[in-house]
Structure 1
């Protein structure tokens, strides 16, 4: 029993005329008659009373016609709802983040201006997140294997000290070695890729190092630095709108510490006009940061 066969049956049930239905369905009369006959054979019951070339739907045919019409109406409603869902989902672009960042509010505001027709959905990459949760683009500090990786930003990581509480040995310097840095307490963010990069770099150059204080609030970190509690690391571009009054920034020497931020797309996803428009908006936003 085929869906098309049932649609043919409904037309014949309505016209009770093979010739008329054949014209309606753009079929030959023999092929339409054969389709109705095969349906009756499969069901094991006649659906029409025949008298020569004329036919009239019988009780069994009327019962089947009612069931088929209800079923096809329900099916069409389901298809319509599925198409509506597809259209709605096409306007949603999901961005995955390694960790929270102060860039996000500004980026979202910018995307609302350049792609107002698209709804941005954010998910955060982490142990609590379903790793199979689909996404369109991901912000990452590492180029992802098996993905399309677009470089958004390369920035230097500075080390911040209080200008008022600055050690005399640091006053005239513009850059510091890892050995000089580890003499002071490190105020660190909560675990994230940036913290991992900084600690790995300093430990590689100088050995054991543990943060003295940890907090997720950047304003608190800078407040502690101003008070002379210790020093912190600070990305040059991706922590915008920070109050750096009373703060002196140093580069790491002999090699400045830098990190890259990528926009990555799973190769298993198919780019759409919406996802491409969002990616273009993201690149424009990051380009403005670097001016």
Structure 2
């Protein structure tokens, strides 16, 4: 059994499509197919059910995939550890987030400490984060809500109040508080279903007896302020994402203590480079400072 066979098998297993897998691996489809066939011959069992050009991982393949991913995970950890020993000042931190609103300040603070370390950031749904962490494809996740899994360490870094944001001139703009039931006929802007914040808001509104009506659903929460300002809709915005320069009014939800928890998550078995450990310290310190500032702001309301 060869390492290349495992790498090819994992790619085909994840995509369940030979052509797409060959394109992803930058090899010919015939070469990929022969490699998978040799692996199946070595193992003595078929790993896929084949119907024409379609592939579907069978029971043998599903079981073997867990072992293959774990083996490559350990090899990748070893490679990262050696790279860290050879060039501790360099490297890349892989990060997945459910919201990017806090990233600029965090990355700026870390870059001041480690100017030669690069970043690769992807925005994903909460359920996708567990997969990325287990595959070893990311060092950390900034998740809201926190990821609840036995093999994933999750540290709550911020408890963030959620406010209602409305444009100036809105019927609620001069209010400081509002009941959820008063929002029944409003149009909302927000992120798509699948993001933790959106699912939480949907459940909350449903408990108040109505289904929120969304005129805009996107992937990037940072765009919501412009839509609110333009009068397209109103939105639930975390307190930490407020920009005092925006012509937007913020209201508390009267009968509910709405908060989101932001957590920094990492796989318990993943090797963390020195840079990654320092990044974790920067994130924790950033949110500690943010929390102190928010407490001061709340005290002035």
Deviation of 1:240 after TM superposition, in Å, equals: 5.4
Kept in 1: contact 2:190–2:221 (CA 8 A): no
Where do residues 81-120 of structure 1 align in structure 2 (5 Å cutoff)?
87-88=86-87, 91-120=90-119
| TM-score for both structures, normalised by structure 1 | 0.60
| TM-score for both structures, normalised by structure 2 | 0.58
Kept in 2: contact 1:93–1:135 (CA 8 A): no
Instruction: State the match for 1:205 in structure 2.
Output: 208
Deviation of 1:220 after TM superposition, in Å, equals: 5.3
Where do residues 39-188 of structure 1 align in structure 2 (5 Å cutoff)?
87-88=86-87, 91-126=90-125, 131=132, 132-141=135-144, 142-146=146-150, 147-164=152-169, 166-167=170-171, 170=172, 173-188=175-190
Q: How many residues of Structure 1 are paired with residues of Structure 2 in the alignment?
A: 205
Instruction: State the match for 1:264 in structure 2.
Output: 265
Instruction: State the match for 2:68 in structure 1.
Output: none
Measure the CA separation in 2 of the matches of 1:172 and 1:180.
Answer: 15
Measure the CA separation in 2 of the matches of 1:259 and 1:212.
Answer: 23
Do the aligned partners of residues 268 and 155 (structure 1) sit closer, same or farther apart at CA in structure 2, a change above 3 Å counting?
Answer: same
Instruction: State the match for 1:32 in structure 2.
Output: none
Structure 2's unaligned 5+ residue stretches are 1-80, 294-301
For structure 1, which segment, 111-120 or 146-155, has the greater mean C-alpha deviation from structure 2 after superposition? 111-120
Deviation of 1:116 after TM superposition, in Å, equals: 3.1
Structure 1's unaligned 5+ residue stretches are 1-81
**Which structure has the bigger radius of gyration?**
1
Kept in 2: contact 1:92–1:121 (CA 8 A): no
Do the aligned partners of residues 202 and 89 (structure 1) sit closer, same or farther apart at CA in structure 2, a change above 3 Å counting?
Answer: farther
Do the aligned partners of residues 143 and 223 (structure 1) sit closer, same or farther apart at CA in structure 2, a change above 3 Å counting?
Answer: closer
Deviation of 1:178 after TM superposition, in Å, equals: 1.7
Kept in 2: contact 1:178–1:206 (CA 8 A): no
Instruction: State the match for 2:199 in structure 1.
Output: 196
Do the aligned partners of residues 108 and 172 (structure 1) sit closer, same or farther apart at CA in structure 2, a change above 3 Å counting?
Answer: closer
Kept in 1: contact 2:167–2:173 (CA 8 A): no
Kept in 1: contact 2:202–2:212 (CA 8 A): yes
Kept in 2: contact 1:103–1:240 (CA 8 A): no
Kept in 2: contact 1:148–1:264 (CA 8 A): yes
Partner of 1:206, secondary structure, is coil
Deviations along 1:23-64, whole A, 9 cap, x unmatched? xxxxxxxxxxxxxxxxxxxxxxxxxxxxxxxxxxxxxxxxxx
Kept in 1: contact 2:96–2:138 (CA 8 A): no
Measure the CA separation in 2 of the matches of 1:226 and 1:114.
Answer: 36
Instruction: State the match for 1:278 in structure 2.
Output: 279
